[in-house]
Structure 1
Amino acid sequence: MTKPPRKPPQPLLGAADVPIRSKPRRRRDPAQPQLPLDPMPARADLCLALLKSRPPKGPQWAFEVKWDGYRLAVYKEPSGVRILTRGGHDWTDRFPAIAAEARRLPVSTAILDGEAIVLDEQGRSDFGKLQKSLGGRGGNRASRDAILMAFDLIYFDGHDIRATELSSRRHLLEGLVPAGGEEAIRLSEEIEADGDTLLRIACEHGLEGIIAKDRNSPYRGGRGGEWLKIKCVQSDGFAIIGYEKSTASFGGIGRLLLAARKGNEFVYVGGVGTGFNERSAAELREEMDKLIIRKPAVNTGRKRDAVFVRPELVAEIQYGGWTHDDKLRHASYKGLREEQDMAEIYELT
């Protein structure tokens, strides 16, 4: 018999009535010797979640909501605040509210790991709204709607804490960013529930999925299995290799033509004709028309009224599965990924 969640489903989308908070940090005793300080890394290699079909079992696993946005690391130093993307690009100016809140954190030096998101009316992260707030792919607008859901602490008060276990890092993070806050930096709270139960509740609320983390693990860059992601719906990045024209659709785009990777090559995986609105279709058409080529980069079979482009744009596609011949089923366009976000293209096995 599975253990029921300690909190009802609704707190997944908002602050709980009695948020979980860490114990207040005690002031350091001046009589105690100070530990030597560690140099702050100029850029930390971020820990990535490995995709799994089902949540793991066991008391060592902690669970959180999976947020749909841009992965960021926030560096707070005496000289100021830097906000870097997973690819190492400086996006401090693009997230002024997050940067301002980072300056107010009650610590002199820190590196926070988190996800920049924009919430919809139901309190769910909405990737499309985030992109719109930033001016679309390649835009340079500053988003004042974006908030950072902080879920880990890499460096704290002069000390590199990546070698310590997750439970200790979380304790420090919860003291720095209390649960239930409404500021531009908020805590991505752990949900105490059985993984299968939490996944079901998350899917019922229309969330993207959940993250499982080994409480005893250190912080290691890359996809080593310390963090796992379990999705309610399948959503991945695919290269845009062209589009079919239509006079009846937004932007004249009837269907995007998509490709995945297989080894060192691209493989055609079908198309997507839904998920666009007038604005996103116009932005897409403008980006694609800069990349037009005469011959397709991938064999797509015979296509009428098709325009082919260099496979440089990565679209985030939500889909229901695969056909027997490796084509996407029930695909829907979610948005373009940024190059600075180190957008990954789905790999066929």
Structure 2
Amino acid sequence: MNGWLTPMLATHTDRRFSDENWIFERKLAGVRVLSIRDGWRPQLWSRSQRRIDDCFPEVVEALAELGGSRFIADGEIVAYDGSATSFYRLQSRLRHGGPAANSQAQVYYYLFDLLSLDGAEVTHQPLRERKRLLRKAFHYRDPLRYTEHRERDGEAYYRQACARGWEGLIAKRADSPYRAGPSGDWLKFKCVRGQEFVVGGFTDPQGSRLGFGALLIGYHDEGGRLRYAGKVGTGYDFATLRAMRDRMDAMTQADNPFADEVAEPTAHWIRPEMVIQVGFAEWTRDGRLRHPRFAGVRMDKPATQVVRETR
């Protein structure tokens, strides 16, 4: 395959269903990664086209040992906090570019799709056939894992997923080809609310807190305007507060990047380029987040692609 292929992306839905023409996989909270090998050492690429081999050297070694000489595979690198995947536990890896001394998080690479094998493109093949090829293309042992799926019964599997504390499921049309970008052939069944947001500013810290008080966040509407969604003041540790403040100080600008007025007297505006993951209870009627909590900085999604997923 020549050139960059944007990963296929799932679309959010509030409809849960069972269908013999669909398969259902666990939704993982990690970093989306395309792994590419063309006769040389495997490479890891985020969906924002950032090379991240140095962040996960054990995954590169596993792909080199357990895969063939030519492939392009799609998957998610995750870390666990108990039985749940935790995007937050990946943060030090992404910040420091490797297994940092202060990070003991063990990671796993879950492969769920195959784009090319032995120099032949397979994106036009039905998903079930691509998964069959993927299963045979690698020898699976940690940190390399195959993403299992459930046939037909999405509703019962969704109830089990939520009871187990999972983020949710990804429903995929079984005969669908692999297409770049968002697709209605892949759907997200979420157990908890959460999505990416763009940081447009921050407030001053109060009391003994260092770094900043809260992040001012938003999303792009259909016209491409950045709409204000509220502020996120919880979920940070000391290292995150300090690192993010240093980064934001290099991104300052004079003007409010939001299309809405933001009534924050200590607001500092930044270029709307940083993307973060936020969990929250619900959207309010005036388009703000209720009980938002910071979950991590995302390196794998361009800010221009961040839109509101749930109503």
Fold shared per TM-score above 0.5: yes
d(CA) in 1 for partners of 2:44, 2:138: 17
Judge which range, 234-243 or 67-76, deviates more: 234-243
Q: Could you say which residue in structure 1 is the equivalent of 2:236?
A: 276
1:243 aligned residue (202, 216, 222): 202
d(CA) in 1 for partners of 2:110, 2:117: 17
- Asked if 2 retains the 8 angstrom alpha-carbon contact of 1:56 and 1:212, the reply is no
- Asked if 1 retains the 8 angstrom alpha-carbon contact of 2:20 and 2:152, the reply is no
Q: Could you say which residue in structure 2 is the equivalent of 1:315?
A: 276
- Asked if 2 retains the 8 angstrom alpha-carbon contact of 1:133 and 1:145, the reply is no
Q: Could you say which residue in structure 2 is the equivalent of 1:111?
A: 72
2:180 aligned residue (198, 221, 241): 221
2:94 aligned partner, one-letter code: L
d(CA) in 2 for partners of 1:91, 1:301: 36
After superposition, the C-alpha distances for 1:65-86 in whole angstroms (9 at most, x for unaligned) are: 1111111111122223122221
* Structure 1 residues 130 and 301: alpha-carbon distance in aligned structure 2, compared to 1, 3 A threshold: closer
1:140 aligned residue (97, 101, 108): 97
Q: Which has the larger radius of gyration?
A: 1
- Asked if 1 retains the 8 angstrom alpha-carbon contact of 2:19 and 2:153, the reply is no
d(CA) in 2 for partners of 1:172, 1:249: 56
- Asked if 2 retains the 8 angstrom alpha-carbon contact of 1:297 and 1:311, the reply is yes
- Asked if 1 retains the 8 angstrom alpha-carbon contact of 2:200 and 2:218, the reply is yes
Instruction: State the 1:225 CA deviation.
Output: 1.5
1:77 aligned partner, one-letter code: D
Number of residues of Structure 1 aligned to a counterpart in Structure 2: 303
Classify the secondary structure of the residue corresponding to 1:56. Answer: coil
Judge which range, 214-223 or 239-248, deviates more: 239-248
1:333 aligned residue (294, 306, 311): 294
Q: Could you say which residue in structure 1 is the equivalent of 2:192?
A: 233
1:129 aligned partner, one-letter code: R
2:98 aligned partner, one-letter code: R
1:157 aligned partner, one-letter code: D
- Asked if 2 retains the 8 angstrom alpha-carbon contact of 1:315 and 1:335, the reply is yes
d(CA) in 2 for partners of 1:175, 1:246: 53
Instruction: State the 1:254 CA deviation.
Output: 2.6
Classify the secondary structure of the residue corresponding to 1:103. Answer: helix
- Asked if 1 retains the 8 angstrom alpha-carbon contact of 2:55 and 2:93, the reply is no
Q: Could you say which residue in structure 2 is the equivalent of 1:102?
A: 63
d(CA) in 1 for partners of 2:24, 2:122: 21
Q: Could you say which residue in structure 2 is the equivalent of 1:46?
A: 7
1:169 aligned residue (122, 127, 130): 130
d(CA) in 1 for partners of 2:18, 2:73: 28
Q: Could you say which residue in structure 2 is the equivalent of 1:346?
A: 307
d(CA) in 2 for partners of 1:269, 1:191: 36
Q: When the two structures are superposed, what TM-score results if normalisation uses the length of structure 1?
A: 0.79
Q: When the two structures are superposed, what TM-score results if normalisation uses the length of structure 2?
A: 0.88
- Asked if 2 retains the 8 angstrom alpha-carbon contact of 1:166 and 1:218, the reply is yes
Superposition map of 1:288-307 within 5 A: 288-298=248-258, 299-307=260-268
Identity of aligned residues (%): 30
d(CA) in 1 for partners of 2:82, 2:308: 34
- Asked if 1 retains the 8 angstrom alpha-carbon contact of 2:273 and 2:302, the reply is no
1:254 aligned partner, one-letter code: G
- Asked if 1 retains the 8 angstrom alpha-carbon contact of 2:20 and 2:151, the reply is no
* Structure 1 residues 203 and 310: alpha-carbon distance in aligned structure 2, compared to 1, 3 A threshold: same
Give unmatched runs, 5+ long, in structure 2.
Answer: none
Classify the secondary structure of the residue corresponding to 2:272. Answer: coil
User: Which structure's residues are more often strand, by fraction?
Assistant: 2
Instruction: State the 1:142 CA deviation.
Output: 4.9
